[in-house]
Homo-oligomer: A and B are copies of this chain.
Amino acid sequence: MAVADGGFRALDEKSLIEYIRATPALSSLLGDDLRALTVKEVGDGNLNFVYIVISSSGGSIVIKQAIPYIRCIGESWPMTKERAYFEALTLREHGRLCPAHVPEVYHFDRPLSLIAMRYLKPPHIILRKGLIAGIEYPLLAEHMSEYMARTLFFTSLLYRSTSEHKREVAEYCGNVELCRLTEQVVFSDPYKISQYNHWTSPYLDQDAETVREDDILKLEVAGLKSMFCERAQALIHGDLHTGSVMVTTDSTQVIDPEFAFYGPMGFDIGALVGNLILAFFSQDGHSDNGKDRKVYKQWILKTIEDTWNLFHKKFISLWNEHKDGNGEAYLADVYKKPELWFLVQEKYIKDLFHDSLGFGAAKMIRRIVGVAHVEDFESITDAERRAYCEHRALEFAKMILKERQRYDTIEQITSALQNIPS
């Protein structure tokens, strides 16, 4: 067990059990007999250690510990373990706003950067793995649109006063290292030579170079990066890809908000939609095990449409419901005329749609030519076939990033996806 700064020590399975025994808030959740605890490390993300702890009496918890570097890279890339503080804070805040889709936090230990939270039992799996397996989740769009509408609306100036907003913005400025990481891996590295970038070589060598040489693309990315750094629109999850969602056919749970901060709403919506589009493009790499993916691709497109359209509807409903509340952005006294109220909302949503498309496209690009790739593609073992899927996804993302202002509806996007020639 490593001993580090300010009382921090990285736990292993043995010391974790000792910690649980010594912590009543946890031991009480696991029942009387703590001798027979099963501990399993399951962290498959890029950053942290995650343990499932199950007691013989049937109690269960998940323990997540942040370590002071990026797990998938190693100690050579230090990363503040304070990210766990912002993760716990956000799980609690988003959980308060949308308890149906955020796991409960039982306990947070700041010196240890340790969060204990509800164990999402089987058959919960990571959404990305479900998408690779070709499983349909009929409630996914409904649930994710609910989560995004509630967490984004209630933490924006549409609902909050300026005073509450600035207090929260100030607090989350502390999560700067994670913001910097996003800036680097999403908005910078893919557009320059970087030791961390990789791609399916040699097939995509030319594609990667083309991204680095595309002036118009890089001009658009600059605008998105500025928005990411400067615009405190709402408390966003900050990493809302399909690996941050756990699902069953009737449950959807958003996890891992350690990148949370006050940023542009479109960054969350775009992350989800962009990753669904990656899943769409990856299907051609998964269609050969005797299972045709044509129907599944249609389900993905329908889910993309429903996610945006339901988000739009729910977000506007919340706004209408709270139009006489504390929110200071659009005072009812100024915008009370129904036609104007409609006009204001329409403009807000249109801008948000374009932001979401831009961020979504940027998130797609970085998953193909940047440091961290997605299992949707990585699990396609035939490199040439993988490169074919990735190339098509990359071309689509570049087009959307550059021409997103031309699109007004999500159906225009799914229709464009539908009509890409093989």
Interface residues of A in 159-183 (CB under 8 A from B): 162-163, 165-167, 169-171, 173-174, 176-177, 179-180, 183
Does A192 touch B at the CB level, under 8 Å? yes
B170 contacts A173, C-beta separation under 8 Å: yes
Binds B, one of A16-24, A52-60, A91-99, A327-335: A327-335
Residue of B nearest to A167 (CB): B173
Give the one of A169, A173, A174 with max B CB within 10 A: A173
B166 contacts A176, C-beta separation under 8 Å: yes
Does A121 touch B at the CB level, under 8 Å? no
Does A117 touch B at the CB level, under 8 Å? no
B335 contacts A222, C-beta separation under 8 Å: yes
B162 contacts A183, C-beta separation under 8 Å: yes
* A331-B192 Cα distance, complex, nearest whole Å: 9
* A315-B128 Cα distance, complex, nearest whole Å: 46
* A179-B229 Cα distance, complex, nearest whole Å: 20
Binds B, one of A39-47, A63-71, A106-114, A230-238: A230-238
The contact size tier of chain A is 35 or more
Chain B residues in 8 Å Cβ range of A219: 340, 343-344, 347
Chain B residues in 8 Å Cβ range of A230: 157, 231-233
Interface residues of A in 110-146 (CB under 8 A from B): none
Chain B residues in 8 Å Cβ range of A329: 222, 225-226, 229
Give the contacting residue for A334; candidates B174, B192, B344; CB below 8 A: B192
Chain B residues in 8 Å Cβ range of A180: 162-163, 328
Q: Type the 1/0 row for A311-323, where 1 means its CB is closer than 8 Å to any CB of B.
A: 0000000000000
A188 contacts B334, C-beta separation under 8 Å: yes
CB distance from A345 to the nearest CB of B (A): 10
CB distance from A398 to the nearest CB of B (A): 16
B192 contacts A179, C-beta separation under 8 Å: no
Does A223 touch B at the CB level, under 8 Å? yes
Chain B residues in 8 Å Cβ range of A165: 229
CB distance from A347 to the nearest CB of B (A): 6
* A95-B233 Cα distance, complex, nearest whole Å: 31
CB distance from A394 to the nearest CB of B (A): 18
B183 contacts A173, C-beta separation under 8 Å: no
Does A72 touch B at the CB level, under 8 Å? no
Does A337 touch B at the CB level, under 8 Å? yes
CB distance from A338 to the nearest CB of B (A): 11
Residue of B nearest to A220 (CB): B347
B222 contacts A162, C-beta separation under 8 Å: no
Does A382 touch B at the CB level, under 8 Å? no
B162 contacts A226, C-beta separation under 8 Å: no
Does A191 touch B at the CB level, under 8 Å? yes
Does A215 touch B at the CB level, under 8 Å? yes
Chain B residues in 8 Å Cβ range of A167: 173, 176
Does A399 touch B at the CB level, under 8 Å? no
Chain B residues in 8 Å Cβ range of A225: 329
A333 contacts B222, C-beta separation under 8 Å: no
B191 contacts A179, C-beta separation under 8 Å: no
Residue of B nearest to A176 (CB): B166
Does A218 touch B at the CB level, under 8 Å? yes
* A193-B229 Cα distance, complex, nearest whole Å: 36
* A105-B159 Cα distance, complex, nearest whole Å: 39
B193 contacts A179, C-beta separation under 8 Å: no
Chain B residues in 8 Å Cβ range of A183: 162, 328
A229 contacts B157, C-beta separation under 8 Å: yes
A343 contacts B192, C-beta separation under 8 Å: no
* A340-B339 Cα distance, complex, nearest whole Å: 42
Give the contacting residue for A193; candidates B192, B333, B343; CB below 8 A: B333
9 contacts between A and B (CB under 8 A): A162-B179, A167-B173, A170-B170, A170-B173, A180-B328, A188-B334, A218-B335, A219-B340, A232-B232
Known: A157-B226, A162-B183, A180-B328. 4 other contacts (CB 8 A): A163-B177, A166-B174, A215-B340, A219-B344
